[in-house]
Structure 1
Amino acid sequence: MPTDHATQGGTAAVGFRSERGRILAALMVTTGLIAIDATILATAVPTIVADLGGFSSFPWLFSIYLLTQAVSVPIYAKLADTVGRKPIILIGIGLFALGSLLCAFAWSMPALIAFRALQGLGAGAVQPMAITIAGDIYSVAERAKVQGYLASVWGVSAVVGPTLGGAFAQFLTWHWIFLVNLPLCLAAAVLLLRFLDETVERRTHRIDWTGGLLLTVSVSLLLLALLEGGQAWAWTSPQSLAAFGVGSAAFVAFVLVERRAPEPVLPLWVLRRRLLRATALIAMGVGVVLMGVTTYVPTYLEALLGVTPLVSGLALAALTLGWPIAATVSGRIYLRIGFRSTALIGIGVLATAATALAVTSRTASVLVVAACCFAMGLGLGLVASPSLIAAQSSVGWGERGVVTGANMFSRAIGSAVGVAVLGALVNGLMRGADATSAPERFGDAATAVFTAVAVVAAALVLAALAMPRHDRPDVSAAPGGDDPTR
């Protein structure tokens, strides 16, 4: 059924005149790009390391992707509120496709890490824009159903991604885990070009490039210090102190620039609003938990339990299968009891499952790990989806791109910093050995990682309690309109 919806907000107006069902199909395929990539790589890490070497460097495969994704999200979000969502998401798909192609032909670990950075730049546009477009054209009540459709993409990817990753690593070569992205990129671009009809009132704007540069320098140096400290150089070495010092100084300069910039890339008002501040902290914690589990569970299963990449992939798939199931149900729950109460229920499930994984890590079986991952996925689905929709529903079109971008930025920063900190923890405990040559030592390291994840999961309750108590969404709000849940 055609719709011609226009919402005034901020600096531009947008009208969507395609059938919303077809747009949803396009968004589902687009979401599949990130969903498949998020689930396919971890299962092939041991195989990649065996081929290219560099066990101590493999956390960079995730960190560099998350870093470039994180620092680009605010810039893309600001551009989307200026020139529209469609051109930004198409640029993201193009960069993601190019990065995937280069990754497939990487000849060394440093080259693969560099090409993953390009992939991350594409992902920084794709995922936030898909979520923002859905927020533009569907009401709060409709988003509960739409969330189920989008979550189903993660459910399919939860099985397809790890299965493909394990199968490619075991029976073909790891290069195929990147080549599989190319037809998905082509399909997503074609669908968006055909069905997403966007009209934007163009005006002159000043993009905060200085702020974006300072943010990139700051986060890059801090992650470099965390990942290489104790490995490439000592924690107290001049290199480490310089990276921490300059990174911190760049972050302070970024905050000062954002306070004065006419159109900041990451407006500080996002952190001054109670709801947005709380949901950003939740997103950051979700990022830490998600990457802590997806990065280390496959290696843990393959190194300590001796399972094949295919089996470890299926065990990890339980997490990304539980997430969409809970995300689908969460829509009905938060419409009845509110965003805050739904998130608190999810945190309880998440913390319990993470604790069980940590406690049983020295005696666990594949089935126990899979069960813990599935329960963690249920908890994440009840936390991440309601908190994001609560943030989106509190603003209009002109601010929704920035708010969605800030939430995605927080999750990406949490993921990147989480991988860096956990990687530093593992490297410190391994003392130069790898998981295959020193399985007992890696067992201790994995237990430490899962314990840290459980602590972060439990700490999320503090952020959820900071959300407003009376935050049941207004189901009568028009698509793209405001819902006062600040």
Structure 2
Amino acid sequence: MRPADEKTFVSNEEHKSRIGLVLVAVAATLLFASLGQTIVTTAMPTMVAELGGVDHITWIITAFLLASTIGAPISGKLGDLFGRKIVIQGGILVFVLGAAICGFAQSMEMLIAGRAVQGLGGGGLIVVSMAVVADVLPPRERGKAQGLLGAVFGVSTVIGPLIGGFLVEALSWHWIFFVNFPVGLLAFVVLGFALETPVRESRAKLDFAGAGLLATVLSVAVLGSNLGGTVLPWDSPAFLGLVALGVAAGAGFVIAERRAEEPILPLGLFRNNTFLVVNAVGFMVGVAMFGTITFIPLYLQVVQGVSPAVSGLFLTPMMAGLIASSTAAGQIMGRTGRYKIMPTLSTGLLAAAMLSLSTLSEGSPLWLVAVSMVCVGLGLGPVFSIGVAAIQNAVPRHMLGVGTASANMFRLIGGSIGTAAFGALFGSGLATNLGGALPDDASLSSISAATLAALPPEAQQEVTHGFSMALHPIFWTAAGVAVIACLVSLALRELPLEQGPAKA
């Protein structure tokens, strides 16, 4: 081998090694952040028993979700302006700070505040990690990497509750937060070596007005969907005031973005076919996904009588399907350069899976639930991996962070709104189906396997039947939403996937 060829070979090998290190570090960071969403679920009853505040228990999840939704687009834009390295390292520090607040919490209010700080860092880590992929890989190769990152999400959903349960039993619930310290430190150091620090030629001008108004709009969307019809009646002054605030903030956001030199979410992206179609599909898929995750364990526990632990395991088939289809879609995208048809096929399968779930009753075999959940996962996976890679291929390099963040943001908003809407639909169905089936001292909102077991056999049969029937409209609606997503995906214009770097 000639000296020049040997130098080139070494350079290429070093480049490949650096990219490999970057991808490993990014995957570890993504796992680190996504576990923060799921690891607390099995520890929540223990937290409430020690800290009190059972009426605020849902805010342990909601605070994280809300802060993640706000942190994603802001962190994405900061990554575009200042480089991914400093933003992702800053996100790790914020996430660990939130974990420390949670770990040392002596009240439910302090725990919720810590979860909000964690979510702010976690939302940024997720989107900036995905944007790093676009920095180091050509468009044709991104689908494979995004498929693997989608698999990381699936793994975190399965192992998060298991790790949380183990730590609670072996040590205490505080350790589900303290375990973040060494992992966060390791990720911080590795990313410091793996990522480069870009040099800006001009001073960045931050869009503070746009960031604040966008945060307000997203907060109203998440809070309104979670509080409306439950804590706040639809026609209450407080809820109407919240809606008015959201509308005013939305109008102000549009005005601010038109005037900003570096808008936090450039309005021109909404004229981009890929950005618009992929995020519309992602929003609708979020509705279907979070609705399924919320109500299938409930059906299994109340109607089928399985334990909470076993009902949680029935999410594993969904995640297995998601991991398999996400990885396969990325491989196909990388080998063929084609991707348009995959979201269409997968959302069609998702609609069929939702229709299958809509047939569940008190007599349905558990294998049917498992098969349907596998199909749900197969329908979700390609939307995750292909969607992010398609957006990254369609936007300029200086908007990669914002474009990547949008996919996560719209999916989270869809999940929040969908879960709230399905909850209202379910409550209405219960009231209709179980009007006179429960004793006078029993409440529809307190139905559980324990309360069901205390009823006479005839009443048990009537309640389980009414309960399962109340779930059917949820899955019919989810199937309809998936069909609409399938039709919308047909409007996606497939762009060539180049082997070179992203366009400037």
| Aligned-partner SS, 1:236 | coil
Instruction: Give the corresponding residue for 1:398.
Output: 398
Change in Cα spacing, 1:222 to 1:186, as seen in structure 2 (3 Å) is: same
Instruction: Give the corresponding residue for 1:477.
Output: 499
Instruction: Give the corresponding residue for 2:219.
Output: 220
Instruction: Give the corresponding residue for 1:408.
Output: 408
Instruction: Give the corresponding residue for 1:136.
Output: 135
Q: How many angstroms apart in 1 are the aligned matches of 2:129 and 2:467?
A: 38
Identity among equivalent positions (%) equals 36
Instruction: Give the corresponding residue for 2:237.
Output: 238
Q: How many angstroms apart in 2 are the aligned matches of 1:49 and 1:423?
A: 23
CA contact (8 A) 1:291 1:419 kept: yes
1:111 deviates by: 4.1
Instruction: Give the corresponding residue for 2:483.
Output: 458
Q: How many angstroms apart in 1 are the aligned matches of 2:200 and 2:21?
A: 24
1:449 deviates by: 4.0
| Aligned-partner SS, 1:19 | helix
CA contact (8 A) 2:91 2:125 kept: yes
Q: Deviations over 1:328-358 (max 9, x none)?
A: 1102333537222011111122111122223
Instruction: Give the corresponding residue for 2:359.
Output: 359
Normalized against structure 2, the TM-score is what?
0.82
Q: How many angstroms apart in 1 are the aligned matches of 2:226 and 2:181?
A: 30
Task: Tell me: higher relative CO, structure 1 or 2? Use CA pairs within 8 A at least 6 residues apart.
Answer: 1
1:167 deviates by: 4.2
Instruction: Give the corresponding residue for 1:12.
Output: none
Q: Which runs of structure 2 are paired with 1:313-392 in the superposition (5 Å)?
A: 313-334=312-333, 335-336=335-336, 338-360=338-360, 362-364=362-364, 366-392=366-392
1:25 deviates by: 1.0
| Aligned-partner SS, 2:306 | coil
Change in Cα spacing, 1:101 to 1:416, as seen in structure 2 (3 Å) is: farther
CA contact (8 A) 2:225 2:416 kept: no
| Aligned-partner SS, 1:466 | coil
Q: Which moved more, 1:296-305 or 1:267-276?
A: 296-305
Q: How many angstroms apart in 2 are the aligned matches of 1:177 and 1:435?
A: 30
1:293 deviates by: 2.5
Instruction: Give the corresponding residue for 1:266.
Output: 265
Change in Cα spacing, 1:406 to 1:309, as seen in structure 2 (3 Å) is: same
Change in Cα spacing, 1:17 to 1:259, as seen in structure 2 (3 Å) is: farther
Q: How many angstroms apart in 2 are the aligned matches of 1:183 and 1:49?
A: 26
Q: How many angstroms apart in 1 are the aligned matches of 2:376 and 2:10?
A: 39
Instruction: Give the corresponding residue for 2:456.
Output: none
Instruction: Give the corresponding residue for 2:3.
Output: none
Q: How many angstroms apart in 2 are the aligned matches of 1:330 and 1:478?
A: 20
Q: How many angstroms apart in 2 are the aligned matches of 1:306 and 1:181?
A: 35
Normalized against structure 1, the TM-score is what?
0.85
Q: Which moved more, 1:256-265 or 1:432-441?
A: 432-441
Instruction: Give the corresponding residue for 2:182.
Output: 183
Q: Which runs of structure 2 are paired with 1:3-42 in the superposition (5 Å)?
A: 19-42=18-41
Instruction: Give the corresponding residue for 2:99.
Output: 100
Q: Deviations over 1:300-331 (max 9, x none)?
A: 43444443443233221222222121111102
Letter in 2 for 1:465: L
1:17 deviates by: 9.9
Letter in 1 for 2:311: S
| Aligned-partner SS, 1:398 | helix
| Aligned-partner SS, 2:198 | strand
1:246 deviates by: 1.8
CA contact (8 A) 1:158 1:318 kept: no
1:381 deviates by: 0.8
| Aligned-partner SS, 1:203 | coil
Change in Cα spacing, 1:301 to 1:27, as seen in structure 2 (3 Å) is: same
1:41 deviates by: 3.9
| Aligned-partner SS, 2:230 | coil
| Aligned-partner SS, 1:200 | coil
1:148 deviates by: 4.4
1:362 deviates by: 4.4
Instruction: Give the corresponding residue for 1:11.
Output: none
* Alignment pair present for 1:83 and 2:106: no
Q: Which moved more, 1:253-262 or 1:119-128?
A: 253-262
Change in Cα spacing, 1:345 to 1:191, as seen in structure 2 (3 Å) is: same
Q: Deviations over 1:122-153 (max 9, x none)?
A: 12210111111111111123223323443443
Change in Cα spacing, 1:154 to 1:94, as seen in structure 2 (3 Å) is: same
Q: How many angstroms apart in 2 are the aligned matches of 1:365 and 1:101?
A: 44
Instruction: Give the corresponding residue for 2:457.
Output: none
| Aligned-partner SS, 1:199 | coil
Instruction: Give the corresponding residue for 1:433.
Output: 445
RMSD (CA atoms): 3.2
* Alignment pair present for 1:467 and 2:492: yes
Instruction: Give the unaligned 5+ runs of structure 2.
Output: 1-8, 432-442, 453-462
Change in Cα spacing, 1:424 to 1:191, as seen in structure 2 (3 Å) is: farther
Whichever of the two has the greater Rg, that structure is 2
| Aligned-partner SS, 2:205 | coil
Q: How many angstroms apart in 2 are the aligned matches of 1:182 and 1:309?
A: 30
Q: How many angstroms apart in 1 are the aligned matches of 2:318 and 2:300?
A: 15
1:273 deviates by: 1.2
CA contact (8 A) 1:19 1:195 kept: yes
Q: Which runs of structure 2 are paired with 1:172-211 in the superposition (5 Å)?
A: 174-211=173-210
1:105 deviates by: 4.5
Residue correspondences, number: 469
Q: How many angstroms apart in 1 are the aligned matches of 2:301 and 2:50?
A: 16
| Aligned-partner SS, 2:206 | coil
Q: How many angstroms apart in 2 are the aligned matches of 1:443 and 1:61?
A: 28
Q: How many angstroms apart in 2 are the aligned matches of 1:131 and 1:227?
A: 28
1:447 deviates by: 4.6
